[in-house]
Amino acid sequence: MQKYRTDMYEGMIAETVMVRGRNNTGINAYFGRPLGSGPFPGVVLIHHAPGWDEWYRETTRKFAHHGFLAISPNIYYQFGHGAPEDVAAKVRAAGGVPDDDVVGDIRESLGYLKSLPQTNGKAGVFGTCSGGRQAILVACRTKGFDAAVDCWGGRVVMSQQELTPKYPVAPIDYTKDLSCPLLGLFGEEDQSPTPEQVAQHEQELKKYGKTYEFHMYPKAGHGFFYYERPGYRQEQAVDGWNKVWAFFEKYLETPEKP
Amino acid sequence: MCTGIVENRRISGSGKGPNGWFLLEQASVSYDHPDHAQAERAVIIDLLSEEAGPESRIAVELTPQSARDLVSAILASLSRGEARDWEPETKASSDQTPLNLRWKRGVPELTDAA
């Protein structure tokens, strides 16, 4: 891996683009990539319940900065436009986005990344909060991802009462179909997922002989990467990001790191 | 939507947002991670108008105890208001306003005093 030096050239482009969503619909996405011909690995970022917000656009650029073709599709596109938190409120009131819709949108974004001339042919999926849950879902129901990162995704384990037409199957029940290595980052003080639910998921991964790494951080709750929220935990967040880079480097052959 | 806990109710009333007053149609009450409140979990109340669009929203994020306190205050207010036998306003007060406030078992009605 090439370490950053102060005399190195560095550049990226990041912009809003229209891409194909599920069922040939069009949705908007935020796409960032390093300048240059690559080859670069790709990553699809699935935004969290608070919406397609600044943190996700920023994190998309962070991945581009680290040498990825990074795309964050707006999985709330069908709910219209407005301030991210207002659109998120509309989605919340509607009971969320159906799992099938998310899987369809993310599958198309993966296809977009792999169609680019700069791709190295590999791609990962990354999600936090509800996006972490959806990253697992997509990694189980879609072929083509080479690595998946779930950051504190709740409701991977679901009770029978939680299943609805929008969420007909608990992600844990797809574990046998998981198609790529999985990294999970969690906080001990989180209530969704609880450490017990994470342990239950881990048992299922072991049962089916899946490749995974789970890290449970003490003194951290939900969303400990979010520096603008009270749940931010600096030490755990720095270590967590390092684990994300190492994991993707291992499975996506990240060519260089700034 | 990490918890997926949401309770929706049709409501009628008005709310005031950045662009002024609008009619409210729905109350959506969630128990989830707040955007802004300094708490791991909060009761998130969105008072919405579908017709007016996503920006027409009255949003609050309350700590669980604050939510209980608010429920208690609403119920106490309703209890006191509905316990009183409201009659039509006196002529003296109706002289001061073009509208006359009349209560029927807890449901306020604004009627033309003339």
Contact A223 B35 (CB under 8 A): no
Closest residue of B to A224, CA-based?
Answer: B40
From chain A residues 213-232, the ones with a CB under 8 A of any chain B CB are 221-223, 230-231
Q: What 3-state DSSP class applies to A235?
A: helix
Q: Is the pLDDT of residue A138 over 50?
A: yes
Percentage above 70 pLDDT, chain A: 97
Instruction: Give residue-wise pLDDT tens across range B2-14.
Output: 788 999 999 999 9
**Tell me, what's the ipTM?**
0.78
Contact A86 B55 (CB under 8 A): yes
* Residue A5 pLDDT level (bands cut at 50, 70, 90): confident
* Residue A203 pLDDT level (bands cut at 50, 70, 90): very high
* Residue B86 pLDDT level (bands cut at 50, 70, 90): low
Q: With contacts defined as CB-CB under 8 Å, which chain A residues touch B3?
A: 154-155, 192
User: Structural domains in chain A?
Assistant: 12-252 (3.40.50.1820)
Q: Is the pLDDT of residue B91 over 60?
A: no
Distance between the two ends of chain B, CA-based, in angstroms? 51
Q: Is the pLDDT of residue B89 over 60?
A: no
* Residue A101 pLDDT level (bands cut at 50, 70, 90): very high
Q: With contacts defined as CB-CB under 8 Å, which chain B residues touch A221?
A: 40
Lowest mean pLDDT among A54-63, A205-214, B53-62: B53-62
Q: How many CB atoms lie within 10 A of CB B25?
A: 16
A90 inside 8 A of chain B by CB: yes
> Phi/psi of residue B79, each to 5°?
-60, -45
B75, B69, A224, A40: CA torsion to nearest 10: 30
* Distance from the B6 Cα atom to the nearest Cα atom in chain A, whole angstroms: 7
Q: Is the pLDDT of residue A255 over 60?
A: no
Contact B54 A83 (CB under 8 A): yes
In angstroms, the CA B73 to CA B24 distance is: 21
Contact A82 B38 (CB under 8 A): no
What is the per-residue pLDDT for B4? 85
Contact B44 A50 (CB under 8 A): no
Contact B4 A96 (CB under 8 A): yes
The gap from C-alpha A99 to its chain's centroid, in whole angstroms, comes to 15
In angstroms, the CA B54 to CA B66 distance is: 25
In sequence order, what E strands does chain A have?
A: 12-20, 26-34, 40-46, 69-73, 119-128, 147-151, 182-187, 212-217
